[in-house]
Structure 1
């Protein structure tokens, strides 16, 4: 695709109509070669230069300026399309550079809609690179842009992306607040449900489930499914089933979770969102690893398919989830060396801030070293996992991870710290330790 050149074509047409050569049009301020490049669309003149050319062509400057603006806008659209292709094909660094350059050009040209599109691309590229806190800040900034300047960038899409980052960072409260605020505004304005609003409700379901409020999550999941089925849109229904499956999974209903995630996977597979399909395959594999009995072979097959997709399309966090689950599958299959390799690979994919997922990968690594009899290394990893868990804000997820740490400590013979870890798990689930007064006659050494 070639760059738009309405301005060059208009200048050439008017020059020829007046019988001027390129040198005559250039005058003393420019050169004939510059005019030639300008007419070929290989130079972008300043406004001052354009006014001088308009004077020699006996036309109003605005007649040429409107072409310049249209050319700049069309050229930016072209650059944004290439940046989107780079992002979609798994090249987030190249996409980031292109989006950032486009944002600067749009700002300089006074084109707010293209500037916001470029900023939206910057935020997504940063997220794909695993810099979630930075991405969340950029999504926050987009939400402060006036709706009239957002153009094609829906507020719902931005909030869903923001919540996705906050969920990975363990900041469930902030994510819930952002989603609830947007949905309240939608209801106040009497906006009818759309595919994007249902995806936001589904995202909210996931946030409540991760925070441990499974009652609210269950209610919202059923509401999302009802609204999605009313729209008769497979993408919306798929999103609703996906997060309803998460709720069932968190509630320990693994068979129901598997059915819901299978339905979501079938619906997304009919579309062109390969990244969503891969993430669903990862979620389904995670459920299969926790069913009774577990199905590690099937889970591994799904995870290998997901990894193939995500190596081309996904971000670092997506790949980290795949690698951690592959480590779990290999652990169940008894290949401890492979489990260690996958867990290490998952840790390598994660940047700073991924406290909960880092802890999970460390705990899988701990189990593998325990099985190999490498208890000193296992204890070191346990300590590191505990530090990450203490910093995590995802209470229910953290509770399960603390319980896993307790089991790991028990396996290495550290029963005192295992008891401490179990208490941490109960605390995350809302239990508060209350000292019990023991009658003196029943205390050790206090009998008759």
Structure 2
């Protein structure tokens, strides 16, 4: 600010900036009571206008009196705060694009907002990026907030950011960083010796899920045992539900599908009284998926759960989550002996994923291939499984890709192609770190 403006708190400077921004000259601000020379004196900081003059000038340049006097426009600030609130609401309702736009518009005027509101908008923007699949942008913003000196370790905000970083790194395929962030945060909590809160339980639950995705089932089970006891003693229904949810994933990966279904159903009961439509929908989808893997399951109940899950995902779910429900419905159609419906749903699931080279779409193609074989289209089924092989070859090896290799091998084996099945099984074993024995291919005769 110019020295000449210091005694008038910058009123003249703001008046001049607004006048020029609107393409007005000093004559345009003059009136019977306000001369052009008086406008000039105000703009150069040589006169302090009265309240009546301030009001008249504010009307001419299109701002509030408060803005001319202080530089702060409470009406504009309120509008920006409403944009942040709208972003929060849109994010809860699954309108992620609208949420991102609202947060970004508010942040474009960050100097007008208080520090707390700016942080809230930045967190919302990062969450919107995450839900839209723009994980690199989300991770960058989460890290900025997490490393900010204003973020106090052990606080609810700190725990939320740690959970978000774990989740975003995990979903981006960087299992090493997801677990590193989670373990470091858990150690920090242990050192701080704070009372356990739901946020802390959620952090541990997310880390459990990261162990699961990396295939470290021993660590996942150990953490599950610890968290289950803590959650039962100190956690809310939501916190306990989160622990049981991830514990179900661990049990399923160990082949205990009855236990995984029981844990997922317990999580669903705990979550059912919340207003988180997305989480309830995801849990219903998981319960149905476990049912489809168990012999003698109630297929009608599985179908009902999937219908409810699909309704929720259409409202608040991401494209990948909607695709996952369609894939489960394709599996259900196969169990019901309707390969035509299975093909239709699997194709719809692939359309939602836009044929991206990711393990979820490869898994869906395996279901599509099985439906094609069931329908009698062996050529189409074989072509689809070869597409799965090409696709998996473009994706970093992890436990999820190993599972899809195994499923593809099972379909080849089921329809009479043992050589192709063996190739898929070998890829599956390599995916979980089991490398072939050197020289095994040179064995020429069976053992006697």
Question: TM-score category by the smaller chain?
Answer: 0.7 to 0.9
- Higher mean C-alpha deviation, range 312-321 or range 256-265: 312-321
* Mapping of residues 341-356 of structure 1, within 5 Å: 341-350=344-353, 355-356=358-359
d(CA) in 1 for partners of 2:190, 2:334: 48
Q: Tell me whether 1:103 sits opposite 2:123 in the alignment.
A: no
Deviation at residue 193 of structure 1 after TM alignment: 2.0
Partner of 1:91: 95
The structure showing larger relative contact order (alpha-carbon pairs under 8 Å, at least 6 residues apart) is: 1
CA 1:282–1:371: 2 relative to 1, 3 Å: same
CA 1:443–1:232: 2 relative to 1, 3 Å: closer
3-state SS of 1:147 partner: coil
CA contact (8 A) 1:169 1:355 kept: no
Among 265, 269, 279, the alignment partner of 1:276 is: 279
Deviation at residue 396 of structure 1 after TM alignment: 2.7
Deviations 1:54-84 (A, max 9, x none): 4xxxxxxxxx34xx27655544322211122
Partner of 1:443: 445
CA contact (8 A) 1:73 1:111 kept: no
CA 1:358–1:36: 2 relative to 1, 3 Å: farther
Supply the RMSD in Å over aligned alpha carbons. Answer: 3.6
CA contact (8 A) 1:198 1:224 kept: yes
CA 1:438–1:430: 2 relative to 1, 3 Å: closer
Deviations 1:10-66 (A, max 9, x none): xxxxxxxxxxx9985896379x9994695799736897xx2xxx4xxxxxxxxx34x
CA contact (8 A) 2:221 2:250 kept: yes
Deviation at residue 438 of structure 1 after TM alignment: 10
CA contact (8 A) 1:113 1:149 kept: no
Deviation at residue 394 of structure 1 after TM alignment: 6.0
Q: Tell me whether 1:43 sits opposite 2:63 in the alignment.
A: yes
d(CA) in 2 for partners of 1:123, 1:439: 54
CA contact (8 A) 1:103 1:114 kept: no
- Higher mean C-alpha deviation, range 375-384 or range 195-204: 375-384
Partner of 1:416: 419
Q: Tell me whether 1:215 sits opposite 2:235 in the alignment.
A: no
Deviation at residue 298 of structure 1 after TM alignment: 2.0
3-state SS of 2:311 partner: helix
d(CA) in 1 for partners of 2:369, 2:62: 60
3-state SS of 1:293 partner: coil
Deviation at residue 195 of structure 1 after TM alignment: 0.6
d(CA) in 1 for partners of 2:175, 2:320: 17
d(CA) in 2 for partners of 1:377, 1:45: 72
Partner of 2:150: 147
d(CA) in 2 for partners of 1:193, 1:277: 25
CA contact (8 A) 1:205 1:220 kept: yes
Aligned length: 408
d(CA) in 2 for partners of 1:45, 1:39: 8
Deviation at residue 342 of structure 1 after TM alignment: 1.8
TM-score scaled by length of structure 1:
0.80
d(CA) in 1 for partners of 2:168, 2:440: 46
Deviation at residue 393 of structure 1 after TM alignment: 4.2
* Mapping of residues 200-349 of structure 1, within 5 Å: 200-349=203-352
3-state SS of 1:101 partner: helix
Q: Structure 1 unaligned runs (5+)?
A: 1-20, 55-63
3-state SS of 1:348 partner: helix
3-state SS of 2:262 partner: helix
CA 1:174–1:439: 2 relative to 1, 3 Å: closer
